[in-house]
Amino acid sequence: MAEQKRTDIDWEDLRFFAALARHGSLSAAARALKVNHATVARRISALEMTLGVQLFERRPDGYVLTVQGQSISAETTSMATAVSVIRDRLVSPEGPSGRVRLTTIRSVADLLLAPHLGEILDGLPGIELEILTDVRVHSLAHREADIALRLGRPADSDLNGKRVATITHGFYASEAVAARWKNGEAAPLIGFDLDSDLLIAEARWLETHHARHPYSVRSGSAITQAVAAAGGMGIAMLQRFQARQYPSLVEIDFGAVMPDRELWMLAPPGLRDVPRVSAIWERLSALFAGMETL
């Protein structure tokens, strides 16, 4: 590392630093910034040269902040966010443009959003909608996502949000299994794999209330569970809007069912009125206006 320090910090280098600090690898940071990984590496090297310190340890499993990197991480993230917000507020004559990252659960993405993508994006050719559906909760505060559709009333009061729907649950089975159950015969449950109860509220609820009931199929995929139930493999607890996708399923009385859950749409206050985010927010609001109870 050169001893000579330059004082003219390139603000764009700080944006690259913030992305690498958040994502931990060149490839992930490059995808987030829409550049190639060599550009990220070059920007980080330039910033380290400017400051005269090493900001990251290069390890086989990724990049880890050094003590010097940690000391500037919070301020740099705030500065990079501010620069991004300023850039976002500039409206193109062609209308809102840029990528909008929306995070939600897979069932909402597959069954509620996907069939309506045409109307959500109609007249918005400059917007790229990226829908994130992995189990990990993406941070709105760290700009890992711009809009979130989350189950449950938000605990973070710093977010702008509103309840857009109520999601209800029921127990479902094929007509044959439902008939046998009604006649007093036993039937196995279809539920989540044993790792899911740490991450998925429905899985935790089932394990709490029906852990001793025999299971025939376990899967982290609600679609797999619904298909298995429709195929006569047992009884599955499903969100009702999921179950409606399978006309052969019959709702049965299996006792207590998981309480209703609120679906909330959330965005950081600094992004809510950014043109590209606002455009998608308004389209989603219109979409859910007719879906009060799901």
* Mean pLDDT, rounded, for 72-92: 69
Higher-confidence position of 211 and 64: 64
Sequence-distant (6+) residues with CB within 8 A of 170 are 237, 238, 240, 243, 251, 257
The length of the chain is: 294
In the three-class reduction of DSSP (H, G, I as helix; E, B as strand; rest coil), residue 25 is classed as coil
Q: How many CB atoms lie within 10 A of CB 113?
A: 18
Report the distance separating Cα 223 and Cα 272, nearest Å. 32
* Mean pLDDT, rounded, for 58-74: 89
User: What's the confidence (pLDDT) of residue 238?
Assistant: 96
| pLDDT tier at 3, thresholds 50, 70, 90 | very low
* Mean pLDDT, rounded, for 72-77: 80
Biggest CA pair distance of the chain: 84
Report the distance separating Cα 293 and Cα 202, nearest Å. 18
The average confidence (pLDDT) of the chain is 86
Q: Nearest to residue 128, comparing CAs of 91, 87, 98?
A: 98
- DSSP class of residue 116 equals G
User: What's the confidence (pLDDT) of residue 1?
Assistant: 46
User: What's the confidence (pLDDT) of residue 196?
Assistant: 76
| pLDDT tier at 2, thresholds 50, 70, 90 | very low
User: What's the confidence (pLDDT) of residue 123?
Assistant: 92
User: What's the confidence (pLDDT) of residue 72?
Assistant: 86
Tokens standing for residue 41? 């590496």
User: What's the confidence (pLDDT) of residue 108?
Assistant: 92
User: What's the confidence (pLDDT) of residue 195?
Assistant: 80
Report the distance separating Cα 289 and Cα 165, nearest Å. 8
Higher-confidence position of 95 and 217: 217
pLDDT digit string, tens, across residues 130-157: 998 865 556 676 667 889 999 887 776 6
Report the distance separating Cα 285 and Cα 104, nearest Å. 15
Strands 160-167 and 189-191: unpaired
| pLDDT tier at 93, thresholds 50, 70, 90 | low
pLDDT digit string, tens, across residues 217-274: 999 888 999 999 999 999 999 999 999 999 999 999 998 999 999 999 998 877 888 8
User: What's the confidence (pLDDT) of residue 7?
Assistant: 58
